[in-house]
A and B are shown apart, each in its own frame.
Chain A
């Protein structure tokens, strides 16, 4: 049975610094740790969620620069660009319009996938400001929802982009 070794303890930091929601973070985890675990366990950011660890479902989606990326598949040592999470979307006490639209449309059942839906939809509308319904569906094709809140999500995105 293995025992903890001092060399592995993370108190000294990993030497990696990333920007999260506008603030610098000296990462304590090892550089191979997926960004998702750094966000959740070092910063207590619970917007991004573990769904598959395989980049298949989208629950862990964050923004890296202006791209929507899967934080479960990005070793924190390879992060290239400022990270924005669901918690970092609001500004001046105002929710991001996409968050407000999801609230207005009640666009969630359990809400576990919702982080990914919102983060992906923001990039979708930034890249295609007036998407057709088909473009919204294609843009969210790699975000999975098991509860069946898809139609409410589509209505929310339409209300922002209209």
Chain B
């Protein structure tokens, strides 16, 4: 028997859940989603403000240390350090007095998941407000004690002073609590805003913010003393491993024991969910390998070599985006009109450490240790999976291997929870490499049809951008499906339509959602979700239009850019890169030499972070090898909290996105993923890593935006444009593997 997953509508997805699904409202957050799915997403105004107690955020300890509580978590970007800098500055205490407690649902506020490069922007501003409230309350206590005006007091190193009087924060508050209420807007994805009566400092007063404080987590990570999720041990815990179906949606037909036997292990099963547990980890690993499970054939995937025609035939929702003038008419009437299709494949998050979690489910209560970026978010999911009250679930985040989005972290957490509930003991589940590659949620493939019109003077007359995509902001749990309980985030994909950073008279943006792959393959968000792909198409096509009208790619862009910060970023990047003003392709394209060099530019606005990049590449026309020699990046994320950490994020974005551009594509047969290790899903290695020249633009007068994703977005376009500049050949499908590059060269000369 086989389970058909053919053209399911999202409605079916919801009806089949049985156990819950959408327990939240997106109204007020994402209006276009509410319009798109009125059947599931409650309508109405944003929720009213609720009181937020300061004691849940800041606690002055008797020893002078300050406990700070945040629902955001450390994923390796330096959040803990940067958030501590913000609080220490606002509270006027030394940096090393801050003790940051992160991602524990019992004691930290729900500030939403650590996603979308929003932690500094959103959680940072909330913590700044809380710290300002605490400082004001403490100063007022001292003023009352000395019967002086609060304005006359100063604070340094956690000590309030007035003339000869001085008193420490800890002496002021003793063992008492603050009596301060703030106001917050709580949404299904955490606290959207936090307001109070204290006025945070002027940025000119910052002493710790803006400096490269060394990351607090680094020394322990260099000595083996750091506790990753994979290192946590709970008394009495068993080691668990999953045994996944042969095909993505195969059914279990039978279990025929371990061959060869593994005496220390036993099977855990519920419906089609199968795992093994053992006291000894190696026993569990062998047991998972040796278990003779019989699965139905499931061959429900289309021919993935014909994915594009399949995706075009299976749209499920339409989302109009920006619209201005008459793009189709203007393009049709233009002296020069171009059409091109860009394709980006399914991708993996591909963490180096396979996902791991521990669950201890006892009756209707559960304690969960998870590396997932949304400890509060996952409570509802687990409640519906385990059929126990969400309020009885205590989730503790422990840092895992880098996740880069909705990877295996939540999924393995569900696996551990199900196994623990079935065996009645704590269970630690770590996926094996093939589990991670095969069963993590995948970044969606996308098709983008672009058309545009220019005249020979380089005037952009019309631009049209149509997208076909499975959802980026969805995911659901294999454990849930296997048990017959569809649990997850079934959100349609139009969370972010393309951001077009150009002002023009005739513009059309349109998106078709494609829900089939969300269920059939399981898609989710992957670093700079959709925007990495959007900018690849948009910024490559801008290059096509510039070339078609004989314009320098930078000058062509500048003509239609209006954001002064983005303009400055672009000018900064091209100056730093030594950009030569001329049209593409460049001289190497006609030289006939085997090795050809070129440069390409691309820009983006990622939620207020402005990035411009210049890529320089060397292409081997014979082998098809592309080597990215250097990236020059100008990066403006407003106020910089920690310059060295931002530089690290820029390099991280460039290197990972270069890997995605040159190498990455998930392979499938009709039944399942076939990229199951690092040979079949190669990523960039040391010899292939480009040099990165980073220019940080600091704007202390502007809000801090994110640095975790912006620099990812322009990478593929900058490389594609540089390859065109070097060779005159346009690459429009990721990845740019040598065989595909050779094919493109052959097609161009045919």
A residues within 8 Å of B by Cβ?
1-5, 7-10, 29-30, 33-34, 37, 40-41, 45-47, 49-54, 56-57, 59, 85-87, 89-90, 95, 99, 102-103, 106, 108-115, 118, 134, 136-138, 140-154
* A95 and B225 alpha carbons, distance in the complex (Å): 13
| Nearest-Cβ distance from residue B347 to partner chain A, whole angstroms | 12
Which A residues lie within 8 Å of B695 (CB)? none
The answer to whether A109 and B76 touch across the interface, beta carbons within 8 angstroms, is: yes
The answer to whether A41 and B281 touch across the interface, beta carbons within 8 angstroms, is: yes
Which B residues lie within 8 Å of A87 (CB)? 223-225
* A8 and B283 alpha carbons, distance in the complex (Å): 10
| Nearest-Cβ distance from residue B7 to partner chain A, whole angstroms | 34
* A53 and B430 alpha carbons, distance in the complex (Å): 12
Report if B310 contacts A (CB, 8 A): no
The answer to whether B430 and A50 touch across the interface, beta carbons within 8 angstroms, is: yes
* A113 and B652 alpha carbons, distance in the complex (Å): 14
Which A residues lie within 8 Å of B645 (CB)? 106
* A41 and B285 alpha carbons, distance in the complex (Å): 14
The answer to whether B652 and A5 touch across the interface, beta carbons within 8 angstroms, is: no
The answer to whether A51 and B77 touch across the interface, beta carbons within 8 angstroms, is: no
B residues within 8 Å of A by Cβ?
75-77, 214-215, 217-219, 221-228, 230-231, 257-258, 261-267, 279-283, 285, 350-354, 399-402, 404, 430, 432-433, 644-645, 648, 651-656, 659, 677-679, 683, 685-687, 689, 691-692
SS class, residues of chain A in contact with chain B: loop
The answer to whether A102 and B351 touch across the interface, beta carbons within 8 angstroms, is: no
* A132 and B560 alpha carbons, distance in the complex (Å): 45
The answer to whether A110 and B430 touch across the interface, beta carbons within 8 angstroms, is: no
Which A residues lie within 8 Å of B687 (CB)? 134, 137-138, 141
* A143 and B644 alpha carbons, distance in the complex (Å): 24
The answer to whether B402 and A110 touch across the interface, beta carbons within 8 angstroms, is: yes
Partner of A1, one of B266, B282, B654: B266
A-B contact count (CB 8 A): 187
The answer to whether B266 and A3 touch across the interface, beta carbons within 8 angstroms, is: yes
* A3 and B263 alpha carbons, distance in the complex (Å): 6
The answer to whether A146 and B686 touch across the interface, beta carbons within 8 angstroms, is: no
The answer to whether B218 and A150 touch across the interface, beta carbons within 8 angstroms, is: no
Which B residues lie within 8 Å of A2 (CB)? 257-258, 261-263, 265-267
Partner of B76, one of A4, A90, A103, A108: A108
* Least CB separation from B266: chain A residue: A1
Most buried by A among B224, B263, B279, B677: B224
Known interface pairs A106-B648, A143-B686; A148-B280 also in contact (CB < 8 Å):
no
* Least CB separation from A28: chain B residue: B280
Which B residues lie within 8 Å of A140 (CB)? 686
Which B residues lie within 8 Å of A7 (CB)? 263
| Nearest-Cβ distance from residue A6 to partner chain B, whole angstroms | 9
Partner of B678, one of A37, A52, A151, A153: A52
The answer to whether A109 and B652 touch across the interface, beta carbons within 8 angstroms, is: yes
Which A residues lie within 8 Å of B219 (CB)? 103
Inter-chain pairs besides A95-B222, A134-B687, A148-B654, 12 sampled, C-beta below 8 Å: A4-B279, A51-B353, A53-B433, A56-B678, A86-B224, A87-B225, A102-B218, A106-B648, A110-B399, A112-B351, A146-B350, A150-B689
Which B residues lie within 8 Å of A106 (CB)? 214-215, 218, 644-645, 648
* Least CB separation from A41: chain B residue: B281
